[in-house]
Amino acid sequence: MQMVKLQKNDINGLLLLNKPKGLTSNQVLGQVKRLFNAKKAGHTGTLDPLASGVLPICFGRTTKFAQYLQNDTKEYLVTCKFGITTDSYDADGNIVNTIAGASLGQADLELAINSFLGEIKQEPPMYSALKHKGRPLYKYAREGITIERALRLVTIYAIELENYAASSLTATIRVLCSKGTYIRSLIHDLGQKVKIGAHVVSLERSMSAGFNLTECHSLEDITHMAANDVTSLNSILLPTVYCVRNLPTLELTLAQLTTLRYGQNLYLADLDLAPGIYAALCDGTFVGVVQFYINTQLKVVRLL
């Protein structure tokens, strides 16, 4: 008997997912893609298997604007334990050092935490998806190979101690940071700062690109919807314009949009616009992203 291949749905939009613990971001993406029976989908900003929280997923043409979500600020709530260091910098790794009888006062901890505020240099962990010669670093790490990693500049906009249990050397810290910040590396460096080591016990991304956990759907709820009323799935998708909601907007006429679609640039000398990236609208509908230059030239970045 010849099997009939199920036709994939050509859907577009943004799903705000509360990623569960225990799965990689790609595993969750695969499940969501199957539930929606979608042709194309991609997530924005990897979360470790140990981590949970806000994971925006783009479908179809919306994936073309995912970068504007990835580049935005993120907030994390991280629980860490001092006195123990692991090779992966989190509880999923192997213990490499334990400080017997370690102690740490709250005042000293807060002083150390505050030293990470602002722009800092950070070394990505070996257990990460960053690639060296086309191969993820975590594959080298599993083979006991350490690769030299270049330091990267990241920004910690806010960092504060939510609670601390000195008896168990366990702390919960809230972090507001820039794109590319490794919270595991931050906690590892904090552990080195207080001279007793530390690792991540649990991690929750509470905000990404301005979206909070309260706006997200759980994988369990989405699975239930797919099993009982598959048509309701599309109702939870946000339109593509939500990817660029933090960009200033520029209203174009139909004639101007047509010019851009033909690959020509526009000169808008009569507009008092600051140079930069804009979300382009036509009749109030999002049509793409454009860039305005200081010489009054308007160019296409990406159009729907």
Query: What pLDDT shows up at residue 72?
Result: 81
pLDDT tens figures, 134-167:
888 888 888 888 888 889 999 999 999 999 999 9
10 given a catalytic annotation: no
Instruction: Give the Cα-Cα-Cα angle 226, 49, 196 (nearest 5 degrees).
Output: 155
Query: What pLDDT shows up at residue 169?
Result: 97
Handedness of CA 150, 151, 153, 157 (dihedral sign): positive
Superfamily of domain 247-303: PUA domain (2.30.130.10)
Query: What pLDDT shows up at residue 97?
Result: 94
Which residue ranges make up each domain of the chain? 13-71+211-242, 74-201, 247-303
CA distances from 258 to 66, 89, 251, 266 (A): 24, 52, 13, 11
pLDDT tens figures, 213-266:
999 999 999 999 888 877 778 889 999 999 999 899 999 999 999 999 998 888
Q: Is the confidence at residue 46, as pLDDT, over 80?
A: yes
Point out which residues pair with 285 in neighbouring strands: 282
Instruction: Give the Cα-Cα-Cα angle 22, 199, 124 (nearest 5 degrees).
Output: 85
Point out which residues pair with 51 in neighbouring strands: 203
Confidence of residue 5 (pLDDT cuts 50, 70, 90): low
Structure tokens at 87: 């090779």
Handedness of CA 56, 62, 63, 66 (dihedral sign): negative
Same fold across 74-201 and 247-303: no
Q: Is the confidence at residue 6, as pLDDT, over 60?
A: yes
Q: Is the confidence at residue 7, as pLDDT, over 90?
A: no
* Phi, psi (degrees; rounded to nearest 5) at 299: -125, 155
Non-local CB neighbours of 6 within 8 Å, separated by 6+ positions: 37
pTM: 0.89
User: Among the options 10, 48, 72, 87, which is catalytic?
Assistant: 48
Hey, how many other C-beta atoms are within 10 angstroms of the C-beta on 249? 13
Structure tokens at 73: 């600020």
Q: How far apart are CA 58 and CA 41, in angstroms?
A: 5
Non-local CB neighbours of 201 within 8 Å, separated by 6+ positions: 79, 80, 81, 90, 91, 170
Q: Is the confidence at residue 3, as pLDDT, over 70?
A: no
- Report the C-alpha dihedral over residues 89, 92, 206, 187, rounded to 10 degrees: -20
Alpha carbon 97 to chain centroid, angstroms = 30
Q: Is the confidence at residue 104, as pLDDT, over 60?
A: yes
Please choose, from the candidates 246, 76, 89, the residue with its C-alpha nearest in 3D space to the C-alpha of residue 177.
Answer: 76
Length of the chain, in residues: 304
Q: Where are the beta strands (DSSP E) in 133-252?
A: 135-136, 152-165, 170-177, 198-208, 211-212, 217-218, 249-252
Query: What pLDDT shows up at residue 34?
Result: 92
Quote the DSSP letter at residue 38. Answer: B
Which three-class secondary structure string do you get for 276-294? EEEEEEECCEEEEEEEECC
Topology of domain 13-71+211-242, per CATH? Pseudouridine synthase (3.30.2350)
Alpha carbon 255 to chain centroid, angstroms = 37
Residue range 74-201 in CATH 3.30.2350.10 = yes
Instruction: Compute the average pLDDT of residues 170-184.
Output: 95
Q: How far apart are CA 150 and CA 130, in angstroms?
A: 11
Q: How far apart are CA 52 and CA 55, in angstroms?
A: 8
